[in-house]
Amino acid sequence: MKLFSFPVFAIEKAIAKRMLGLESPHKEWFGQRWAQKPYRKAFIENKAMPLVTLIAKGKTWDDETFNTEMAAWDALFYPAEVEVLRPIIEGDGLLQLMQKNVPAERVQALLKKLETQRQA
């Protein structure tokens, strides 16, 4: 997937803001991992940036392109990661303008992906 050139610092800031509102045990689980640089880098590159790309470019892609890119995004999500990423899809915080005009069925497809591709 050709990633959208969205500033990484903005995503990190949105994630940090979301961490403040996480419930226990998600807050502890994600906070411990987020503090580790290799996890942070992998989370942003493999989970957050592809999600941002699907949201940003998904507004203008045709159905075939969107579905192909969704299928290519093969990340598995821990429950705490789902709690962090869901607000990005739903239009929380800094990224609200990006979600504007995303077709509702694509928002639902992204939410479904988070829910169905879970790790234990």
Secondary structure letter of residue 101 according to DSSP: T
**Distance (Å, whole) CA 29 – CA 53:** 26
What's the pLDDT tens digit per position in 43-76?
999 999 999 888 888 888 899 999 999 999 988 9
At residue 96, the pLDDT reads: 56
What residues have CB less than 8 Å from 9, skipping those under 6 apart?
Answer: none
Residue spans of the chain under pLDDT 70: 1-6, 92-101, 120
Quick one: which of 72, 56, 70 has its CA closest to 111? 70
- Residue 94 pLDDT: 44
How much of the chain, in percent, has pLDDT values that exceed 70? 85
Tell me the pLDDT of the chain averaged across its residues: 84
Give the model's pLDDT for residue 14. 83
Report CA-CA distances (Å) from 105 to 2, 63, 87, 114: 22, 11, 16, 14
Q: What is the DSSP letter of 58?
A: H
